[in-house]
Amino acid sequence: MPTSKSENNQIHIKKLQLHEKNRLTLNKYNVTAWFYDILDFPWELKYRKWRPGLVGDMRGNVLEAGVGTGRNFKHYHHSVNLTGLDLSPAMLKRAQKRSREASCSIHLIHEDACQMEAIPSDTYDWVMAGFLCCVLPDEFQSVVLQQIERILKPNGRFRLLEMVYSKNPDLRKRQDFFTPFVEKVYSARFDRNTLDHVKDTSNLKVTGTTFLKHDVYQLIDGVCEK
């Protein structure tokens, strides 16, 4: 859904028909959004080192699902036509301010990534999602991946960054310590098994996986083979 640079600050907020679990997540993020960047600051110290590599090679029509407060915006190539999608209007309003830092065109959409009703099929060259699937309940993992499959063009690419449980006992203890906080504030969990769900999605093919730090921050690259 390409747009002009002048549309960067336009957001259409609509009433979404949501599953009760997603509505709880929406309500949580509408509160968390007010201090999200402050809460996230300790983690952002490492995330900001990764962001140029996460999105800098993307070209064409790109959709970032679960765009949050727009931390990736300034790292997209100037030629990109970017659609930023998020469930929370409060998060989108913060992303709206950050969109002014970007050199590419940005269109922000209030939408549920599990439905993407406003997004036509076969539209995007790339879909990027950072920590989206780890926030979604288990029953919605395959649903959101099917939507990603639908909106990607044939041979379109996708990139997912997720958190998983470490096999290192010491790291696992640290994760267990933070699990209540992460779930309460972000609705996120370390046990979503996103990679397995991607492999079970018929037209999504994993082309590579790597860990950005330890065996916790898992990056999944792939292509949509329609």
Cβ-contact 197, 142 below 8 angstroms: yes
Is the pLDDT at 28 greater than 90? The verdict is no
Dihedral sign computed on CA atoms, order 18, 188, 66, 201: negative
Q: What is the mean pLDDT of the chain?
A: 92
Residues with Cβ within 8 Å of 200's Cβ and at least 6 positions away in sequence, in order, are: 142
pLDDT attached to residue 6: 39
Cβ-contact 95, 67 below 8 angstroms: yes
3-state secondary structure of 54: helix
Q: For 38-80, write each residue's pLDDT tens digit.
A: 999 999 999 999 999 999 999 999 999 999 999 999 999 999 9
What are residue 222's DSSP bridge partners?
A: 158, 206
Cβ-contact 27, 91 below 8 angstroms: no
Q: What is the mean pLDDT of residues 159-168?
A: 97
Residue type, 103: S
Neighbours of 58 (CB within 10 A): 23
Q: What is the pLDDT confidence band of residue 3, given thresholds at 50, 70 and 90?
A: very low
Q: For 69-112, write each residue's pLDDT tens digit.
A: 999 999 999 999 999 999 999 999 999 999 999 999 999 999 99
The predicted model scores a pTM of: 0.91
Neighbours of 85 (CB within 10 A): 26
CATH assignment at residue 148 = 3.40.50.150
The total domain count for the chain is 1
How far is the C-alpha of 222 from the C-alpha of 225, rounded, in Å? 9
Q: Can you state the angle between helices 20-32 and 169-186, rounded to 10 degrees?
A: 90
Domain that holds residue 201: 5-224
Q: What is the pLDDT confidence band of residue 172, given thresholds at 50, 70 and 90?
A: very high
Vertex 75 angle, CA 73 and 78, to 5°: 85
Is the pLDDT at 20 greater than 80? The verdict is no
Is the pLDDT at 205 greater than 70? The verdict is yes
Alpha-carbon torsion, ordered 62, 66, 68, 70, to 10 deg = -10
3-state secondary structure of 30: helix
pLDDT attached to residue 27: 84
Cβ-contact 24, 191 below 8 angstroms: no
